[in-house]
A = this chain, B = another copy of it.
């Protein structure tokens, strides 16, 4: 489907209702403690959209929440963790309990799968994962996702083929977008350029809505043009408690608070979901509960010092 130059600004509620469906494969933006699409994730949780397959390179807090809320049936990714803030505990528990299907890749392998999808190709070659159990044990398990062929130009050289990954919908948080859906990501871009272009639908939340005139004045700075984008959600602090480069740092306090609930799970975790997601009408209400304006100023000031 071709996406048009129409006005795509809408609420997270409307965007999720229109573009995220039960059973969808969801491309997850951000990485670790940076630029995760938290606002859109919360809305998926509130709407209880289920049986999701979550895909990405490093899946982090947004993935852990969807798993913890019981909405994910499968992940395909390179890692689940928050680096210094620990692993993704609900994900780990679900794998150990065997209630979640997983397919493991290296980060480059997942990025390569998105690249194939973004170019309309059925698969992408890779030289990663050779000789390892990522390849061998998953093939032995009957996974259909890995083929090893001989390089036709050098029959002594094995090459891995990986099937394209084409999410039904991707959710990402960016610094800037215009109402048509042109996206500007600043700083690191993770796998998002390829993942977004490989997706059937794309929801972008942004810190700042800019004019299309401004986009057209600097076409070299557009990360993804509007023809790949379906919904623009204007949501400052939309990646909180993870950072948005140029805007605010990650919030160690809230990250630790989440981890303190996610690690034990059970009641503590239910309480977190209730207080910070289910009882909030929208993400602004979450922010009001989760972070004071003084603290917001600190995180903004702290980021400014790093630029």
Contact = CB atoms under 8 A, between A and B. Distances in A.
A163 interface: yes
Given A121-B125, A125-B122, A220 B144 contact: no
Contacts of A157: 122
A129 interface: no
A151 B127 contact: no
B221 A154 contact: no
Contacts of A187: 220
A94 interface: no
Nearest to A147: B152
A159 to B, nearest CB: 6
B124 A125 contact: yes
B147 A122 contact: no
Contacts of A124: 125
The oligomer's copy count stands at 2
A127 B123 contact: no
Interface string A135-158: 000000000100101011110010
A233 B226 CA distance: 37
A186 interface: yes
Interface in A81-135: 116, 120-127
Contacts of A123: 125, 151-153, 159
A20 interface: no
A283 B80 CA distance: 55
Interface in A138-185: 144, 147, 149, 151-154, 157, 159, 161, 163
A246 to B, nearest CB: 10
Given A186-B220, A220-B186, A221-B220, A151 B125 contact: no
A152 B161 contact: yes
Contact of A122 (B116, B120, B151): B151
A163 to B, nearest CB: 5
A154 B186 contact: no
A137 B220 CA distance: 39
Given A122-B159, A123-B153, A153-B163, 10 more contacts: A116-B125, A121-B127, A121-B159, A122-B151, A122-B153, A123-B125, A123-B152, A124-B125, A144-B153, A186-B220
* Shortest 8 CB-CB contacts between residues of A and residues of B: A122-B151, A147-B152, A121-B125, A153-B163, A186-B220, A152-B161, A122-B159, A122-B153
18 contacts: A120-B127, A121-B126, A121-B127, A121-B159, A122-B125, A122-B151, A122-B153, A122-B154, A122-B157, A123-B125, A123-B151, A123-B152, A123-B153, A125-B125, A144-B153, A187-B220, A220-B221, A221-B221
